[in-house]
Chain A
Amino acid sequence: TQLLEQSPQFLSIQEGENLTVYCNSSSVFSSLQWYRQEPGEGPVLLVTVVTGGEVKKLKRLTFQFGDARKDSSLHITAAQPGDTGLYLCADSSGNTPLVFGKGTRLSVIA
Protein backbone atom coordinates (compact mmCIF):
# COMPACT_ATOMS: atom_id res chain seq x y z
CA THR A 1 0.00 0.00 0.00
CA GLN A 2 1.53 3.28 -1.03
CA LEU A 3 1.52 6.30 1.26
CA LEU A 4 -0.03 9.53 0.06
CA GLU A 5 1.27 12.80 1.42
CA GLN A 6 -0.87 15.89 1.10
CA SER A 7 0.27 19.43 1.67
CA PRO A 8 -0.35 21.80 3.17
CA GLN A 9 -2.27 20.21 6.01
CA PHE A 10 -4.20 23.42 6.69
CA LEU A 11 -4.84 26.49 4.57
CA SER A 12 -6.81 29.61 5.44
CA ILE A 13 -7.26 32.25 2.76
CA GLN A 14 -9.41 35.25 1.90
CA GLU A 15 -12.21 35.06 -0.62
CA GLY A 16 -10.91 35.78 -4.13
CA GLU A 17 -7.40 34.43 -3.58
CA ASN A 18 -5.87 31.56 -5.55
CA LEU A 19 -4.42 28.44 -3.98
CA THR A 20 -2.76 25.15 -4.82
CA VAL A 21 -2.72 21.94 -2.80
CA TYR A 22 -0.57 18.91 -3.49
CA CYS A 23 -0.66 15.13 -3.32
CA ASN A 24 2.54 13.13 -3.54
CA SER A 25 3.45 9.47 -3.45
CA SER A 26 6.60 7.41 -3.26
CA SER A 27 5.33 5.17 -6.05
CA VAL A 28 3.43 5.49 -9.29
CA PHE A 29 -0.32 5.90 -9.40
CA SER A 30 -2.29 4.08 -12.04
CA SER A 31 -5.07 6.52 -11.38
CA LEU A 32 -5.75 9.15 -8.77
CA GLN A 33 -8.91 10.73 -7.50
CA TRP A 34 -9.63 14.02 -5.74
CA TYR A 35 -12.54 14.28 -3.31
CA ARG A 36 -13.97 17.18 -1.32
CA GLN A 37 -15.53 16.58 2.08
CA GLU A 38 -17.68 19.24 3.69
CA PRO A 39 -18.28 19.27 7.45
CA GLY A 40 -20.73 16.57 8.51
CA GLU A 41 -20.80 14.96 5.10
CA GLY A 42 -19.04 12.13 3.30
CA PRO A 43 -16.41 12.81 0.63
CA VAL A 44 -17.66 13.61 -2.87
CA LEU A 45 -15.63 12.75 -5.96
CA LEU A 46 -14.38 15.76 -7.93
CA VAL A 47 -12.21 14.16 -10.61
CA THR A 48 -10.25 11.08 -11.64
CA VAL A 49 -6.92 11.48 -13.47
CA VAL A 50 -5.24 8.58 -15.22
CA THR A 51 -2.72 9.91 -17.78
CA GLY A 52 0.66 11.43 -16.91
CA GLY A 53 0.63 15.17 -17.63
CA GLU A 54 -3.17 15.23 -17.75
CA VAL A 55 -4.93 18.47 -16.88
CA LYS A 56 -8.63 18.58 -16.05
CA LYS A 57 -10.72 21.63 -15.31
CA LEU A 58 -13.89 21.76 -13.26
CA LYS A 59 -15.14 25.36 -13.23
CA ARG A 60 -12.60 27.21 -11.05
CA LEU A 61 -10.72 24.01 -10.12
CA THR A 62 -7.77 22.78 -12.17
CA PHE A 63 -6.34 19.31 -11.54
CA GLN A 64 -2.94 18.29 -12.83
CA PHE A 65 -1.36 14.84 -12.85
CA GLY A 66 2.43 14.78 -12.87
CA ASP A 67 4.25 13.40 -15.91
CA ALA A 68 5.70 10.59 -13.80
CA ARG A 69 2.27 9.90 -12.24
CA LYS A 70 3.68 10.21 -8.72
CA ASP A 71 2.16 13.56 -7.86
CA SER A 72 -0.89 15.67 -8.46
CA SER A 73 -2.04 19.19 -7.72
CA LEU A 74 -5.34 20.96 -7.34
CA HIS A 75 -5.46 24.69 -8.09
CA ILE A 76 -8.46 26.82 -7.15
CA THR A 77 -8.88 30.21 -8.79
CA ALA A 78 -10.72 33.00 -6.98
CA ALA A 79 -11.67 30.88 -3.98
CA GLN A 80 -15.13 31.27 -2.52
CA PRO A 81 -16.48 30.40 0.95
CA GLY A 82 -18.31 27.47 -0.64
CA ASP A 83 -14.93 25.92 -1.44
CA THR A 84 -14.31 25.41 2.28
CA GLY A 85 -13.77 21.76 3.14
CA LEU A 86 -11.33 18.88 3.36
CA TYR A 87 -9.66 18.04 0.05
CA LEU A 88 -8.59 14.42 -0.18
CA CYS A 89 -6.60 12.61 -2.79
CA ALA A 90 -7.04 8.87 -3.19
CA ASP A 91 -5.11 6.17 -4.97
CA SER A 92 -7.62 4.40 -7.18
CA SER A 93 -5.13 2.08 -8.85
CA GLY A 94 -6.46 -1.15 -10.18
CA ASN A 95 -6.99 -3.98 -7.77
CA THR A 96 -6.51 -2.18 -4.48
CA PRO A 97 -9.30 -0.44 -2.58
CA LEU A 98 -9.21 3.33 -2.30
CA VAL A 99 -6.36 4.59 -0.13
CA PHE A 100 -6.74 8.19 1.02
CA GLY A 101 -4.26 10.82 2.08
CA LYS A 102 -4.83 12.82 5.27
CA GLY A 103 -6.20 15.72 3.30
CA THR A 104 -5.82 19.49 3.16
CA ARG A 105 -8.30 21.41 5.26
CA LEU A 106 -9.21 24.62 3.42
CA SER A 107 -10.98 27.56 4.97
CA VAL A 108 -12.06 30.44 2.74
CA ILE A 109 -12.96 33.55 4.68
CA ALA A 110 -15.48 35.99 3.23
Chain B
Amino acid sequence: EAGVAQSPRYKIIEKRQSVAFWCNPISGHATLYWYQQILGQGPKLLIQFQNNGVVDDSQLPKDRFSAERLKGVDSTLKIQPAKLEDSAVYLCASSPQGSFEAFFGQGTRLTVV
Protein backbone atom coordinates (compact mmCIF):
# COMPACT_ATOMS: atom_id res chain seq x y z
CA GLU B 1 0.00 0.00 0.00
CA ALA B 2 1.44 3.35 -1.01
CA GLY B 3 1.89 5.86 1.77
CA VAL B 4 1.01 9.52 1.95
CA ALA B 5 2.87 11.41 -0.77
CA GLN B 6 3.94 15.02 -0.38
CA SER B 7 5.78 17.41 -2.65
CA PRO B 8 8.05 19.19 -2.80
CA ARG B 9 10.35 17.81 -0.06
CA TYR B 10 12.15 21.11 0.35
CA LYS B 11 11.35 24.71 -0.56
CA ILE B 12 13.24 27.94 0.01
CA ILE B 13 11.46 31.22 -0.68
CA GLU B 14 11.86 34.86 0.18
CA LYS B 15 9.45 36.52 2.56
CA ARG B 16 6.32 37.91 0.91
CA GLN B 17 6.50 35.26 -1.82
CA SER B 18 3.85 32.60 -2.30
CA VAL B 19 4.25 28.84 -1.98
CA ALA B 20 2.06 25.78 -2.42
CA PHE B 21 2.37 22.25 -1.07
CA TRP B 22 0.68 19.17 -2.44
CA CYS B 23 -0.52 16.03 -0.67
CA ASN B 24 -1.85 12.74 -2.01
CA PRO B 25 -3.30 10.70 0.88
CA ILE B 26 -3.55 6.94 1.12
CA SER B 27 -6.23 5.69 -1.24
CA GLY B 28 -9.63 5.48 0.41
CA HIS B 29 -8.74 7.54 3.48
CA ALA B 30 -11.58 9.94 4.20
CA THR B 31 -9.77 12.22 6.65
CA LEU B 32 -6.86 14.45 5.68
CA TYR B 33 -4.84 16.67 7.99
CA TRP B 34 -2.28 19.41 7.45
CA TYR B 35 0.09 20.01 10.37
CA GLN B 36 2.82 22.61 10.89
CA GLN B 37 5.87 21.46 12.83
CA ILE B 38 8.28 24.16 13.91
CA LEU B 39 11.78 22.99 14.83
CA GLY B 40 11.85 21.50 18.30
CA GLN B 41 8.09 21.29 18.67
CA GLY B 42 5.32 18.78 18.09
CA PRO B 43 3.03 19.04 15.07
CA LYS B 44 0.30 21.68 15.28
CA LEU B 45 -2.93 21.07 13.38
CA LEU B 46 -3.70 23.63 10.69
CA ILE B 47 -6.73 22.09 9.03
CA GLN B 48 -8.67 18.83 8.96
CA PHE B 49 -10.80 17.65 6.03
CA GLN B 50 -13.41 14.90 6.04
CA ASN B 51 -13.75 13.93 2.39
CA ASN B 52 -13.85 17.37 0.71
CA GLY B 53 -15.39 19.25 3.64
CA VAL B 54 -13.52 21.22 6.32
CA VAL B 55 -13.95 19.78 9.84
CA ASP B 56 -11.57 22.05 11.75
CA ASP B 57 -9.59 25.07 10.55
CA SER B 58 -9.59 27.01 13.79
CA GLN B 59 -5.78 27.27 13.91
CA LEU B 60 -5.28 28.11 10.25
CA PRO B 61 -4.05 31.72 9.79
CA LYS B 62 -6.67 32.49 7.20
CA ASP B 63 -5.24 35.86 6.26
CA ARG B 64 -2.32 34.10 4.57
CA PHE B 65 -2.97 30.35 4.55
CA SER B 66 -5.52 28.51 2.45
CA ALA B 67 -6.17 24.85 1.76
CA GLU B 68 -8.46 22.86 -0.44
CA ARG B 69 -9.22 19.23 -1.06
CA LEU B 70 -10.80 18.86 -4.43
CA LYS B 71 -12.95 15.77 -5.03
CA GLY B 72 -12.07 14.52 -1.56
CA VAL B 73 -8.68 13.15 -2.61
CA ASP B 74 -5.58 15.32 -3.16
CA SER B 75 -5.06 18.48 -1.19
CA THR B 76 -3.03 21.66 -1.56
CA LEU B 77 -1.91 24.07 1.14
CA LYS B 78 -0.95 27.59 0.08
CA ILE B 79 0.80 30.41 1.89
CA GLN B 80 0.51 33.91 0.47
CA PRO B 81 2.46 35.97 1.42
CA ALA B 82 4.99 34.00 3.44
CA LYS B 83 6.57 35.33 6.62
CA LEU B 84 9.85 34.34 8.26
CA GLU B 85 7.95 32.61 11.07
CA ASP B 86 6.33 30.26 8.55
CA SER B 87 9.63 28.38 8.30
CA ALA B 88 8.69 24.86 9.39
CA VAL B 89 7.97 21.35 8.19
CA TYR B 90 4.47 20.99 6.77
CA LEU B 91 3.12 17.50 7.33
CA CYS B 92 0.16 15.92 5.62
CA ALA B 93 -1.56 12.92 7.21
CA SER B 94 -4.59 10.81 6.42
CA SER B 95 -6.83 8.42 8.35
CA PRO B 96 -9.41 5.85 7.35
CA GLN B 97 -13.06 6.56 8.14
CA GLY B 98 -13.74 6.00 11.84
CA SER B 99 -10.06 5.64 12.80
CA PHE B 100 -7.81 8.01 14.70
CA GLU B 101 -4.60 6.45 13.49
CA ALA B 102 -2.87 9.07 11.37
CA PHE B 103 -0.50 8.05 8.59
CA PHE B 104 1.95 10.83 7.85
CA GLY B 105 3.88 11.82 4.75
CA GLN B 106 7.54 12.80 4.89
CA GLY B 107 6.67 16.47 5.00
CA THR B 108 7.78 19.58 3.13
CA ARG B 109 10.52 21.58 4.79
CA LEU B 110 9.90 25.28 4.10
CA THR B 111 12.56 27.89 4.71
CA VAL B 112 11.55 31.53 4.39
CA VAL B 113 14.50 33.93 4.06
A contact set with B: CB distance below 8 Å: 4, 6, 31, 33, 40-45, 48, 88, 90, 92, 96-103, 105
Contacts and interface: CB of A to CB of B under 8 A. Distances in A.
B33 A98 contact: yes
B100 A48 contact: yes
A44 B55 CA distance: 23
B104 A100 contact: no
B20 to A, nearest CB: 19
Interface in B4-42: 4, 33, 35, 40-42
B45 interface: yes
Q: Residue among B33, B41, B42, B104 with the most chain A CB within 10 A? A: B42
B64 interface: no
- The 3 lowest CB-CB distance pairs between A and B, nearest first, are A42-B104, A100-B42, A92-B100
A81 to B, nearest CB: 21
Contacts, number: 52
B22 to A, nearest CB: 15
B102 interface: yes
B41 A42 contact: no
Contact of B105 (A4, A33, A42, A99): A42
A44 B104 contact: yes
Given A97-B55, A100-B35, 6 more contacts: A33-B101, A45-B101, A48-B100, A88-B42, A92-B100, A102-B40
